[in-house]
Structure 1
Amino acid sequence: MTFQDYINHTEFNPKKIRLPFGKFFLCEDFVVAELDQEIHVDWSIIEKIAKMIIEQYGTSRKIGLISNKINSYSIDPFVWVTFNKEYDFIEASAIVWYNDGGYVAATLEQMFLKNSVKLCESLDDAIPWILSKIKTSKN
């Protein structure tokens, strides 16, 4: 399910940003990323995503990231190693998967992320979990 089809998405007042490789929904405490079909995520794409997030939230604010894998795409998992060294604004990540391939990719990605990560089968799982992690970090 896309974030726009999620029944409660309007309560988060998302700002939708379309980049050449996907859609991003910037909410108060988290970002939902929906990357396009068949792209390959490398460092240049990660840098563009990071720049967009920093422009919205700044560098000192901790946020959650939900990767909503509605499409099939590949990612170089080692970009997360570099990301972890360069940036420190992701408090927690949820990876929503919808099929076996998405689960395998999410499991691999999870191994390279340094923050708290949860694999989820739906946005109904991911959003409350992300919000609980962000709330905990603010206290």
Structure 2
Amino acid sequence: MLRPINEGEFVKKYDLEIGKVSFYKNYLIIEVAEGISFNHEKAKQLSRLTELHFGNQPFGYISNRINSYSLEPMDYLKIKEILPNIKAFAVVAYNNFQKASVRIENMFYQDGIVTFEQIEEAVKWIKDKLK
């Protein structure tokens, strides 16, 4: 995983069945594992870690899509229930297929997902949104 922008903000990294999750001061970066079906139940696993690291504080969520995996777009309707403190949601997409997928996901996630081509851009945007 790339170490974005300011190493002083890095808190902890987890290698889980669902993938790698790196926690920073007020945001996380997730790299979902190859072939995983990321759904409501898997998001609940992640929510336990966000509660541990962020408590009730707002945080940013960056999905670094370096692997191929499937999503349940309808589960985005429940994301506020699972991760209620997300203030900003970014995806780093590396090809046109991923960008098209995010457009579909945006139909289900009311707060909007912003797409970037580089992790550093996503981190900068997240930090700006959390100010």
Task: Judge same fold: TM > 0.5, yes or no.
Answer: yes
Matched, 1:16 2:13: yes
Matched, 1:36 2:38: no
The normalised TM-score by structure 2 is 0.90
Q: Deviations over 1:9-36 (max 9, x none)?
A: 5232241011111000100010001001
Matched, 1:3 2:2: yes
Distance 2:66 2:28 in 1: 15
Q: Deviations over 1:17-66 (max 9, x none)?
A: 111110001000100010011111111101101111112111x2100000
Distance 2:106 2:117 in 1: 15
SS at match of 1:112: coil
Once the two structures are superposed, the pairs formed by residues 33-72 of structure 1 within 5 Å of their partners are 33-58=30-55, 60-72=56-68
Indicate the percent of aligned positions where both proteins have the same amino acid: 25
- Show structure 1 runs of 5+ residues with no match: none
Distance 2:28 2:91 in 1: 12
- How big is the alpha-carbon RMSD for the aligned residues of Structure 1 and Structure 2? 1.6
Q: Which residue identity is paired with 2:19?
A: G
* Aligned match of 1:76: 72
Residue 116 of structure 1, CA deviation: 4.4
Residue 114 of structure 1, CA deviation: 2.8
Distance 2:43 2:35 in 1: 16
Distance 1:134 1:88 in 2: 15
Q: Judging changes above 3 Å, is the alpha-carbon distance between structure 1 residues 9 and 106 closer, same or farther for their aligned structure 2 residues?
A: farther
The normalised TM-score by structure 1 is 0.86
Q: Which residue identity is paired with 1:81?
A: L
Asked if the contact 1:84/1:114 (under 8 Å) is kept, the reply is no
After the TM superposition, which parts of structure 1 deviate over 3 Å for at least 4 consecutive aligned residues?
none
Distance 2:112 2:25 in 1: 19
- Show structure 2 runs of 5+ residues with no match: none
